[in-house]
Amino acid sequence: MYHVLVPVDQNEKRAIAQAEAVADLPAASTEVKVTLFHIFTENPSGASVNQVGSVRRAREVLENGDVEYTLDEESGKPAAEVVERAEELDVDCICVAGRKRSPTGKALFGSVSQTIMLDSHRPVLFAHGEN
């Protein structure tokens, strides 16, 4: 079984793109399992991963493709938490999606996807979530 960690932020388009990229993998319905992972940077209301709209959209895509999945959540800095959870779960791949940013924008604001690609020792699948 091929295990893919899919870190999902608040953006529904990116979450759908990530789920579609994984569901489109060869034999995904029989050979792939997914962990949908949401990192709360702030969570004063005590929300759970089940309440996040983008996670629900990703779940729908995976369910429609008969892809096995579990839900996971954490609080903290997104890139660091993703890299750490990938190691803990010993995943085969991390599927991320990014947004368009200029080189200056990346330098000023950083890029979670870029940091994951550079800091992880796991293969990273990049799904284009925005045009």
DSSP H/E element including 103: helix 103-109
Q: What is the pTM of this model?
A: 0.90
Domains of the chain (ranges; CATH) run 2-128 (3.40.50.620)
Residue 128: count of CB within 10 angstroms of its CB: 14
pLDDT in the model for residue 109: 43
Amino acid at 2: Y
Assigned token pair, 40? 């709360």
pLDDT in tens for each of the 131 residues of the chain? Answer: 999 999 999 999 999 999 999 999 999 999 999 999 999 987 767 778 988 999 999 999 999 999 999 999 999 999 999 999 999 999 999 999 976 666 655 544 458 888 898 899 999 999 986 64
- Distance set, CA 71 to CA 102, 128, 131 (Å): 32, 22, 27
Q: Name the phi and psi angles at 18, rounded to 5.
A: -65, -50
